[in-house]
Amino acid sequence: MIQQLAQISGTDLNNDIPIDDAANALADRVAATTKKQVFNLPKDSTVKAIEAKGQLYFKDFFTVNAHVLFACIGIPPNVAMQIYDSNYSASRAAIKDWEHNLNVRRDDWAEQFEEPIFYFWTFSELIKGTFKAPKLLLSWVKGRSVVVEAYLKARFVGAPVPHIDPYKEVQAEREKLGPMGANLPLTTLEQATENLGGGDSDSNMEQFAVEIEAAKKLKIDMPAPAQNAPNPVQ
């Protein structure tokens, strides 16, 4: 501002402008606080900067509204945000809650959409002679719903929800069985393959047998099976 006044009055900028310590201090203060801007204000007035605090409250705003939305669609916030920073029990409860909701929706979807298509395909192939099931047609004509349901019983399987710690899940089921059921199998190969999303168990066994024979032909050393398997429950 001083330099602008000097230019207007025709004063030499290098020699004629008086400079003292107070002026230098004022110039430094202006440069540091207002980025070299000077405001000509009326007496006893001040300038206050508008503080933009919207970003400070965004997390609270987003979290509250997101949780309401997640509750409406029936998904736990931990699962929706894929943030599992709670303890094991809380994270497991969230995943099991979501798994239950998925199973209910899958059953509803299968009943309304997949089962009618499966029934239509079954009767179409039966009429074309692809396979024979005379009792099914007879039961359908006579309205024997129990027999028809027995023929058309099917289960539609989707991708499984993974466990946080599968070993803990197995150990918990073992504890329920007690010492009498310590050596009893908890599942079948088919069910285990389904739970892991590993395809079809029959195809897996056939392919594994082929690979074993190929390994023998290539003279690859195969470890002998363990004779004494450890007791699963100590």
Q: Can you give the pLDDT at residue 233?
A: 45
Residues 6 or more apart whose CB falls under 8 angstroms from that of 167 comprise none
DSSP string, 163-202: PS-HHHHHHHHHHHH-GGGTTS-SS-HHHHHHHHT---HH
| Domain range annotation of the chain | 1-49, 84-151, 187-223
In tens, the pLDDT along 155-197 reads 777 777 877 788 888 888 888 878 887 888 888 888 878 777 6
Question: Which range, 11-15, 75-79, 161-165, is most confident?
Answer: 75-79
The predicted model gives 36-59 an average pLDDT of 75
Q: Can you give the pLDDT at residue 225?
A: 67
Q: Can you give the pLDDT at residue 210?
A: 92
Amino acid at position 88, single letter: Y
pLDDT at 15 over 60: no
Q: Can you give the pLDDT at residue 121?
A: 92
* Length of the chain (residues): 234
Instruction: Report the half-sphere exposure of 95 (CA within 13 A, side-chain side).
Output: 17
The predicted model gives 96-118 an average pLDDT of 89
Computed over every residue of the chain, the mean pLDDT equals 80
Q: Can you give the pLDDT at residue 66?
A: 93
